[in-house]
Structure 1
Amino acid sequence: MPLTVSPRPPRAVRPRAVVGPAVAAALLLTGCGADVASDSAKSEKTTVKRCGEPVPYTVPERAVAYEGGSADKLFSLGLTDHVHGYVMPPANPPVSESPWAAEYKKVKMLSDDLLNKELVVDAKSDFVVAGWNSGFSDQRGITPEILDKLKIQSFMHTESCYNYPKYPERADPFDALYTDLERLGRIFRVEDKADEVVSDLKRRAGAVRKQAPKGDPVPVFLYDSGTDRPFTAGNQVPPNDIIKTAGGRNVFDGLDERWTQVNWESVAEAEPEVVIILDYGDQPAKKKIEFLKKSAHTRELPAVKRNNFFILDYNEGISGPRNIDGLEKFGKYLRELKR
């Protein structure tokens, strides 16, 4: 089958990583809550971009976050008191594994299903954070435009704005992460905290970049899912920046897409030396590795023959502060890889 470029279909999805220095750093960043605006300032509106659209915001008091990336961004900024709850499909790794596990305990789990308008309305939410074509969806009847009409504020991950109708916005995935934190900082009037968090993430990413192995970048294939046709990462999602910053090369970095479907012939032609397995609840990494070792399409790949598998946690692969945790782990893996 020829290469296809389609958005990753929305579904209730996504190695579980060992807790290390990155987690400790994240916890340190959230040790104390941010100083949110005074009551008098909360009713004032601040205009911040939602993808390419300038939107006026008041300070939210009952935020709803869809999936770990959204919640992590809010928790990393010390905004727990402004989060009413979260929606977490069961395929997501348990929140107990998050660096912000203590913050998750302080808010409500509203659903283990996909995001929907009724849930948001029932929660009396005044702010929803999600991605386009994942949390927000025309097909499921919950979009920023629909919520605007209900006077419910919303915010979309910049990384997902690539194909947002009317107001597309494009940024490299890590830059999109930093942009989100800065924009959320403005919405909640915690700009100083946002600057602190972003500066630390950039510092950590820069340290990995400096330590990247010299020479030709290692060709890397990210395997999300799929047997007949694999889903993988184009150049518009965080794993592309994780691979590039650590010293590798995403074999599908030429695809100007987010999560997309390809064919096994193109994977074989790329001869990846490393396969990153995106690990999530309903499709654990172990089963994916077993498939790759047995499939006639992949068992002769250099990475598979050498058992060069790196497991990336779901919340390290979708847009959120844990992208940098995944980067640090993958950077270490590449530095120790024997070629």
Structure 2
Amino acid sequence: MPTTPVPDRPHRLLLPAALATAVALTGCGAPAQTATGSGPPAEGYPVTIGNCGSETRVDAPPERVVTLNQHVTEVMLALGLEDRMVGTAYLDDEVPPEYADAYASVPVLADAYPSFEVLLEAEPDFVYGGFTSAFDDTEGRGRPALADAGIATYLNIEQCADEVTTETVETELRNVARIFGVEERAEELIEEMNADLAEVGARLEGVEPVDVLVVDSIDTTVFTSGGSGIGSDLIERAGGRNVFGDVDDTFADVSIEQAAARSPEVILFYDYGATSVEEKRRAVLADPVLAGAPAVEEERFAVLPLTSALVGVRTGDAVTDIAEQLHPDAF
């Protein structure tokens, strides 16, 4: 977990979008977010990728990259691209040990999002954002403003895909790898992920799914995982059913009464930021409305780091982690 408090995450601001994302070497649509050099395009370039209602075009592999949000930072590190990174921001939880040294080599520009001025001081030629709030027009970091400064941008496609599954992860990795010319590394990561998914699937064959309520945070309402993000697919592959999988949002606020009425058998806490899982657990156990839910009566709880519940490089590990907690006898 971060050593400094992280402000309220931007996820509450970035709920639905329904724009398809496709990869192409040429494209049309909204104005392109282009990184261009002084010379002719590099071999195999330019690359143009349709991205969440815009286009990302690069004439060569970007060399000065800033990542905004942890899950996209980890994509860069997993692709072996830390030497291209001149800044990162917005850590939600601990960086996995296999990426810790690489992460330590990258300057941290801000605990949350950097200002436009701080971002420009890093002199990036490319900004990779994890959530739509990374490119907040009202804070000066909008994609058009960055394009005007000669900076290409790319947004994680979980924010705009109609349906988000593990196939979305494959597309995301291939998109980013194509931009940087490291396609082989992306295929290695995809092969590793699919091997993990296949192993879990084999172990859970014939296992009865359990109903799962995600608790990202809880106060007067429950901030939970809806059906539009990858969370539902992770839970399903791990032998569960997201009780709010019918909600057409990545994340959604639901009432305590609604949460209790879905009779969850397991509560899955997302772990991040300044509020610990133990604090969330105590809040759930103290709530009289939730008291009758099977998960609360049996104190059947599971935990997942927030970054593992997003489109990134933790998908195989996330499914394994959830499955081991939902169905320990299968492992």
* The two structures share one fold, judged by TM-score above 0.5: yes
TM alignment of 1:172-251, pairs within 5 A: 172-212=164-204, 214=206, 216-251=208-243
Change (3 A) 1:295 1:71: same
What fraction of aligned residue pairs are identical, expressed as a percent?
27
Corresponding residue for residue 289 of structure 2: 297
Question: Are residues 54 and 322 of structure 1, via their aligned partners in 2, closer, same or farther at CA, if it must alter by over 3 Å?
Answer: same
Distance 2:272 2:211 in 1: 23
Using the TM superposition, give the Cα deviation of residue 310 of structure 1 relative to its aligned residue in structure 2, in angstroms.
0.4
- Residue 14 of structure 1 corresponds to none
TM-aligned CA deviation for residue 146 of structure 1: 2.1
1:111 aligns with 2:103: no
Of the three residues 8, 12, 20, the one matched with 2:11 is: 8
After superposition, what is the alpha-carbon deviation per residue over 1:73-98, rounded to whole angstroms, capped at 9, x for unaligned? Answer: 01111111111121135xx2244x54
Could you tell me how far 1:42 is from its partner in structure 2?
6.9
Corresponding residue of 2:125: 126
Seen in structure 2, the aligned counterparts of structure 1 residues 115 and 259 have a Cα distance that, compared at 3 Å, is: farther
CA displacement 1:236-277 (0-9 Å, x = unmatched): 223211101111100001011111111111111110000000
Distance in 2 separating the partners of 1:187 and 1:64: 14
8 Å CA contact 2:302–2:322 kept in 1: the answer is yes
Aligned to 1:138: 137
Structure 2 CA distance for aligned equivalents of residues 160 and 98 of structure 1? 27
Question: Cα 1:281–1:198, aligned 2, differ >3 Å: closer, same or farther?
Answer: same
Runs (5+) with no aligned partner, structure 2: 1-9, 15-39
Are the equivalent residues in 2 in contact too, given 1:9–1:134 (CA < 8 A)?
A: no
TM-superposed CA distance for 1:40, in Å, is 7.1
How far off its partner does 1:213 sit? 5.3
Partner of 2:52: 51
Cα distance, 1:213–1:333 mapped onto 2, change above 3 Å? farther
What is the Cα deviation at residue 144 of structure 1? 1.9
1:146 and 1:174 mapped to 2: Cα distance?
32
Q: Using a 3 Å threshold, how does the CA distance of structure 1 residues 216 and 307 change in structure 2: closer, same or farther?
A: same
Q: Is the 8 A contact 1:246 1:330 kept in 2?
A: yes
Higher share in strand: 2
Deviations 1:213-254 (A, max 9, x none): 535421000001131111100112232111011111000010
Q: Deviations over 1:25-84 (max 9, x none)?
A: xxxxxxxxxxxxxx9727942112222434321311111111220111011111111111
Letter of the 1:76 counterpart? A
- Aligned partner of 1:93 in structure 2 is 93
Structure 1 position 327, deviation (Å): 1.2
1:128-158 Cα distance to aligned partner (Å, 9 max, x none): 1113333222332322222112111111111
SS, match of residue 291 in structure 2: coil
Q: Which runs of 5+ in 1 are unaligned?
A: 1-6, 12-38, 162-168
Secondary structure of the corresponding residue to residue 228 of structure 2: coil
One-letter code aligned to 1:119: V
Give 1:69's aligned residue: 71
Looking at structure 1, the residues matched to 13 and 98 of structure 2 have their Cα atoms a distance apart, in angstroms, of 25
- Of residues 310, 320, 324, the one that matches 1:328 is 320
Aligned length: 295
What is the one-letter code of the residue matched to 1:283?
A: T
Contact 1:9 1:133 (8 Å CA) reproduced:
no
Question: What amino acid does structure 2 have at the position aligned with 1:130?
Answer: G
Distance (whole Å) between structure 2 residues aligned to residue 279 and residue 125 of structure 1? 31
Alignment root-mean-square deviation, CA: 2.2
- 1:88–1:53: structure 2 CA closer, same or farther, 3 Å change rule? closer
Q: For the Cα contact (< 8 Å) 1:246–1:334, is it kept in 2?
A: yes
Instruction: Give TM-score scaled by structure 1 length.
Output: 0.81
Q: Check conservation: 1:159, 1:173, Cα contact below 8 A.
A: no
User: Would you say the 8 A contact 1:213–1:334 is kept in 2?
Assistant: no
Quick one: which of 296, 303, 310 aligns to 1:311? 303
